Amino acid sequence: MASHHVSLTEKSLVILVASSKRLMYHVTALRPRQWTKNLVVFAAPLFALSITLQTLLGSLLAFILFCCASTSFYLINDIADVESDRQHPVKCKRPIAAGLVRIPVAIGIAVALLGISLIIAWLCSPQLGAAITAYALLQIAYNLRLKRMVILDIGAIATGFVLRAFAGAAATDIVLSAWFLLCTAMLALFLGIEKRKAELRLTQIKGCKPRTVLKRYSLSLLSRMESVVTTGTVVTYTLWSAGPYLHGASTSWMLLTLPFVLYGIFRYQLLSDPQEIANYSDSNVQKGAKLIIKDIEASIILGSFMNQLHDLLLSRAWVHQRRSSDVVKVLLSTGATVSQPVFRWTLWYPHFQIVALVP
């Protein structure tokens, strides 16, 4: 009798574990790490200085609807590219490509999520419904054609962020300034250009074959584009922060934030410049050094969180962070001669660099 009871318990546990794994595969296929991009919907009440329970609930609704809509297209992309993904060394591990999530199930989830997001959006507000519908059409155009067209691919990425900001305003009945929308567009273009620069550098470092659209870009071209967009970002933000006189922010006190915005943009450009990165590396490398380790300092919680958010928005990847002290212990255990960690702040989060002489 006892053995029979144990057998039933073991079977129940096996079924529970199997169900949990299947659920995890389906959740992974939804790409929840990409949902951080939809936080842009909270920009409208934040910059309008209208943070109330009503606006927060409205922004939360827009956030959830955009998560549903964007997730549906991630699933559709994975279904459309399933054969090519299976040949890719990394993408083959995606749940659909690996056969962990059946294609009919993925199609059903995608249709359901997109349908639910569109229906609820139109029921709540025509403006919100129009924003998510426009986003859906944009994603269709991007996946079919725009992602392979130089310059237009970056424009499509920027348009997606503008639609998110507009949806946040529509869900909260906040009237956005034209300068705010332009500034959002310029900043989104800036992020899109930086994303392409990062991808191009990665292909050059690894020596792998770039995607079709990356073949038309060069670092010099992207740098010139970045210069133009940076100017537009600064000008539009200045005009918006000037206040009601220029139909911008609700108060001209927002001009006090301009120095911080300028510093953030210039600092970002400094740290992303290839020559600056090379100079920084050379100035900290000792003669005879065999190993240089650079990473995010995970012991500072706020900085670590902000960096994760930054990387999720730009590179769409979750970065595993380490404590510098743990790295030093591992290196010392191998018999290496290890220097003291050199810390350097990047915007609001710290990096560390360690030079080790391998025996």
- For 302-326, what is each residue's pLDDT tens digit? 555 555 555 555 544 545 556 677 6
- State how far the Cα of 147 lies from the Cα of 139, in Å rounded to an integer: 10
Angle between helices 258-272 and 219-241 (to 10 degrees): 170
Which class for 241: exposed (0-12), middle (13-18), buried (19 or more C-beta within 10 A)? buried
pLDDT higher at 309 or 160: 160
Domains, the chain, ordered by start: 14-176 (1.10.357.140), 177-272 (no CATH), 283-357 (no CATH)
pTM beyond cutoff 0.85? no
User: For residue 289, what pLDDT band results from cuts at 50, 70 and 90?
Assistant: very low
Question: N- to C-terminal Cα distance for the chain?
Answer: 63
pLDDT higher at 224 or 348: 224
User: Which are the contacts of 308, defined by CB distance < 8 A and separation ≥ 6?
Assistant: 318, 319, 321
Q: How far are the Cα atoms of 80, 138, 161, 313, 346 from residue 134, in angstroms, in the given order?
A: 21, 6, 12, 21, 36
Lowest mean pLDDT among 35-39, 161-165, 196-200, 293-297: 293-297
Pairing of strands 349-357, 337-338: antiparallel
Helix H or strand E encompassing 66: helix 53-80
Predicted pLDDT of residue 285 = 43
How many CB atoms lie under 10 A from the CB of residue 267? 13
Q: Is the per-residue pLDDT at 9 higher than 60?
A: no
Give DSSP secondary structure letters for 164-193: HHHHHHHHHTPPPPHHHHHHHHHHHHHHHH
Torsion angle (degrees, nearest 10) of CA 46, 49, 52, 57: -30
Q: Is the per-residue pLDDT at 115 higher than 60?
A: yes
User: Which are the contacts of 279, defined by CB distance < 8 A and separation ≥ 6?
Assistant: none
According to DSSP, residue 31 is labeled -
Do residues 200 and 208 lie in contact, with contact meaning Cβ atoms separated by under 8 Å?
no
